[in-house]
Amino acid sequence: MRQLTEEETKVVFEKLANYIGRNISLLIDDPSNLHVFRLQKDRVYYVPEKIARLATSVARPNLMSLGTCFGKFTKTGKFKLHITALPYLAQYAKFKIWIKPNGEMPFMYGNHVLKAHVGRMSEEIPEHAGVIVYSMNDTPLGFGVSAKSTNEARNLQPTGIVAFRQADIGEYLREEDTLFA
């Protein structure tokens, strides 16, 4: 487990900034509980600083994971967020979409968010911004990227896509073999 390089940190923070904006500082700079990002193989972990220091005594081949997996780097160097980062993203989200109960299952089966399923959305969501998808009772279900701005989404037909799905809580079951491997 090692620290992220400057380039890796930039890529991870750009991806996180798409969803939580300047609230990234709240993830790292909490004085009561300092956290750091660490890389193990190609996966990025969000770890309390005390535990990260203790983990240095464990040999890399013997260390499977540590902390919360935020995502992984692809072979091309891009960063892909995992569903395991959802509680942290939901806590500091800039833009939110709430879906009706009849849209929860299609979303959790891996489909995009349709206009007919949207219960409400945050104001001023720009096109291609990171959004957190919630159920109507404020349970985070996943995250994605807005397909249209808030104003354009109001004029869409019911079958129009409002947000492209990136990850949903159904992945815990659908991808349980590869999620942590």
**Confidence category of residue 27, pLDDT binned at 50, 70, 90:** confident
**Domain termination residue (choose one: 56, 88, 120):** 88
Tally of domains in the chain: 2
> Is the confidence at residue 134, as pLDDT, over 90?
yes
C-alpha closest to that of 79 among 126, 25, 10, 26:
10
Residues 6+ apart with CB under 8 A from 2: 38, 39, 40
Contact yes or no for 107/113 (Cβ under 8 A): yes
From CA 62, how far away is CA 57, in angstroms rounded? 10
Q: pLDDT value at position 14?
A: 94
> Is the confidence at residue 128, as pLDDT, over 90?
yes
Inside any domain, residue 129 = yes
From CA 40, how far away is CA 23, in angstroms rounded? 25
Considering the domain architecture, whether residues 137 and 165 belong to the same structural domain is answered as yes
Q: pLDDT value at position 124?
A: 92
**Phi, psi angles (nearest 5°) of residue 132:** -105, 135
Share of the chain above pLDDT 90, in %: 71
**Confidence category of residue 180, pLDDT binned at 50, 70, 90:** low
Considering the domain architecture, whether residues 99 and 149 belong to the same structural domain is answered as yes
**Domain termination residue (choose one: 88, 112, 138):** 88
pLDDT digits (tens, 9 = 90+) for 59-113: 888 888 889 999 999 999 999 999 999 999 999 999 999 999 999 999 999 999 9
Inside any domain, residue 29 = yes
> Is the confidence at residue 25, as pLDDT, over 80?
yes
Element housing 107 (H / E): helix 101-108
The CATH number covering residue 126 comes to: 2.30.130.10
Q: Which domain holds residue 164?
A: 94-174
Give Cα separations from 43 to 39, 87, 180 (angstroms).
Answer: 6, 18, 9
Q: Say if residue 29 is exposed, middle or buried (CB neighbours under 10 Å; 0-12, 13-18, 19+).
A: exposed
